[in-house]
Amino acid sequence: MKQVALGGSGLVSTRLVYGCMRVAGNMERGRFTPEMEEKGRRAILAAYEAGYTHFDHADIYGHYTTEEEFGQALAKEPGLRNRLQLITKCGIKMVTPNRPDHAIKSYNSSTAHIRSSLERSLKNLHTDH
């Protein structure tokens, strides 16, 4: 797969980015089965083996479960995280049982929300960068 430099960052990425919206299905926490988790892990590995190194996330994917499932898959594959670029997005506050504090769907681009979302995403993805 072709690769490109990411601006002047020194990072190199595949030209295609693997969208992770449905890696964990689109399920609420508690309805996710070990079989679904394994299927998601296999999808991530298949994408990597096909040449993808750049994976796209958003905190709301899978009703706020996809980043965590992706992170668990990475934890089972030592060294894989260092060969990938991960991006994630935030700002939408979706109403779901996984976030009972969200009373209404809204958008939040405040510094506090972005920082909080980033810290949670890093934790869920089992990474510090």
Catalytic center residues: 61
Q: Give the 3-state secondary structure of residue 13.
A: strand
Q: Give the 3-state secondary structure of residue 40.
A: helix
Identify the CA nearest to 70 among candidates 110, 42, 95, 105: 42
